[in-house]
Amino acid sequence: MELHPNSWNYILTAGTTSLQLDLHSNSWNYIPTAGTTSQQLELHPNSWNYIPTAGSTFLQLDLHHNSWIYISTAGSTSQQLELHPNSWNYISTAGSTFQA
C-alpha cells in the first residue's frame, strides 16, 4: 500500500478474523496476515480519523474483519507497504507526529 504524505488513508480488511496492530512510536510495527492471498489494502486521501503515536506510549488498533479502518500519514515522503500472505509485514514510524 502507498501511504500518501499529509493526507488521510484507509485500510480495507476482509475475511472472518480480526487483525490487531500495535503502533509503537519511533519504531517498526508489524502486521500479521493470514490466508492464501495478499491482504487487500486501499488508500485514498480526504477521509477522516487518525492515529497519533507520539511519545513513549503506543496505541492498539483492532482491524475488524469486513470493515474500514482509517489512518493518517504525515511528512514529506510516501511509503510503500505490501502485505504478504502468511507472513509478518511491517510499517515504520518516525518522529513525533502522525504515523501510519
Cα-based distances in Å from 41 to 44, 57, 63, 84: 10, 26, 12, 11
How far is residue 25 CA from its own chain's centroid? 13
Q: Taking the model in full, what pTM does it have?
A: 0.24
Under the banding of pLDDT at 50, 70 and 90, the label for residue 69 is very low
pLDDT digits (tens, 9 = 90+) for 13-27: 444 444 444 444 444
